[in-house]
Amino acid sequence: MKIGFIGLGVMGKHMARNLSRSGYDVTVYDINASAVETFRREGMQTAPDVQALAAQSDVLITMVPNSPQVKEVLLGEKGAIHTLRRGSVVIDASSINPVASREVAAALAEIGVEMLDAPVSGGEPKAADGTLAFMVGGKQEIFDRCRELLSHMGSSVVRCGDIGAGNVTKLCNQIIVAVNIAALSEALTLGQMTGVDPEAVFGAIRGGLAGSTVMNAKAPMMMDRDFQPGFRIDLHIKDLNNVLDAAKTVDAPVPLTAQVMEMLKNLHKDGMGSLDHSAIVRYYEKLSGQEIHR
């Protein structure tokens, strides 16, 4: 099985490497020539462009920023749709609007190509160690065919429904993550302002009902002032934009999402868009005049 991988950014570079280390025949491409050159120096196969890669791939995986990039890579004038072979499969691991996933899948179906939308959760650390959570939409038989492949990049691979369901589930995931980080920031700020060490607050509640994977990952980053991006604020803004668009389509109430979105946009305006989303705590620090620390 020949695997093509498009998108060698923060997440994709690790995912492609994990597939190669697992013994798959992987060829990579990215619009960033230096990223491709890094893989070439590591001894991996590289392609000169999207169409050349698509022409040789049994499974083509895309991991790019958002809906416009997915459409350009797959359906654009120089897109994969012009060279993909009938019977091949596209797996889009990008986090995009589910409406776009369905549009792309419909276009690919016209040339006999199947598609799964398979966005991930876990950030760069879990991409690096191959323990991402995949939320997948698509036909059951295509999911069954690709499940083992995905399992070499993630420890959880769950089919959520037909095409688009993966990205709907990812949007739900991003609501929960964003609101959790905001609530954690609010709680640690309150604790410190009332004289209780944030580390003591974290240590006391992490094992109870309020404990979460989000808390375990982000509280230490906040207290250590470590905002190196595992998942950038600007990317979370992109995801919450997609949440708000999808919610508007079906008239779903999302007031908490809208509030956290305003926090993220405020941070972006203050030049923090490239920081990790744990930097939501800095929104509270700006309001309170208190810097969270151990």
Token couple for 25: 């025949």
Does pTM top 0.95 for this prediction? no
Q: Are 143 and 177 within one domain?
A: no
- Domain harbouring 275, CATH code: 1.10.1040.10
End position of a domain, from candidates 109, 129, 163: 163
| Domain assignment of residue 181, given as a range | 168-288
The one catalytic residue in 2, 13, 78, 170 is 170
| CA distance linking residue 116 with residue 92, whole number of Å | 6
| CA distance linking residue 174 with residue 235, whole number of Å | 10
- Whether residue 294 lies inside any domain: the answer is no
Cβ proximity of 86 and 111 under 8 Å: yes
Token couple for 1: 């099985």
170 flagged as catalytic: yes
Q: Are 209 and 229 within one domain?
A: yes
Q: Are 159 and 182 within one domain?
A: no
pLDDT classification of 71: cutoffs 50, 70, 90: very high
Q: Are 174 and 199 within one domain?
A: yes
Q: Are 222 and 108 within one domain?
A: no
Q: Are 119 and 191 within one domain?
A: no
Number of structural domains the chain divides into: 2
Q: Are 10 and 149 within one domain?
A: yes
Q: Choose among 252, 233, 98, 246: nearest CA to 178.
A: 233
Q: Are 139 and 219 within one domain?
A: no
Token couple for 55: 């022409």
| CA distance linking residue 184 with residue 202, whole number of Å | 9
- Whether residue 126 lies inside any domain: the answer is yes
Q: Choose among 217, 120, 104, 111: nearest CA to 169.
A: 120
Q: Are 127 and 217 within one domain?
A: no
End position of a domain, from candidates 105, 140, 163: 163
The pLDDT tens digits for 216-270 are: 999 999 999 999 988 899 999 999 999 999 999 999 999 999 999 999 999 999 9
Q: Are 142 and 29 within one domain?
A: yes
Q: Choose among 80, 128, 125: nearest CA to 104.
A: 80
- Whether residue 278 lies inside any domain: the answer is yes
- Whether residue 274 lies inside any domain: the answer is yes
| CA distance linking residue 24 with residue 46, whole number of Å | 14
- Whether residue 293 lies inside any domain: the answer is no
Whole-Å CA distances, 17 to 48, 105, 164, 221: 18, 26, 26, 26
Confidence (pLDDT) at 142: 98
Confidence (pLDDT) at 11: 95
The pLDDT tens digits for 1-40 are: 999 999 999 999 999 999 999 999 999 999 999 999 999 9
| CA distance linking residue 131 with residue 56, whole number of Å | 28
Name residue 137's beta-bridge partners: 117, 161
| Angle made by CA atoms 208, 237, 241, in degrees to the nearest 5 | 105
End position of a domain, from candidates 163, 179, 207: 163
Confidence (pLDDT) at 123: 86
Q: Are 125 and 145 within one domain?
A: yes
Q: Are 18 and 156 within one domain?
A: yes
The pLDDT tens digits for 76-122 are: 999 999 999 999 999 999 999 999 999 999 999 999 999 999 999 98
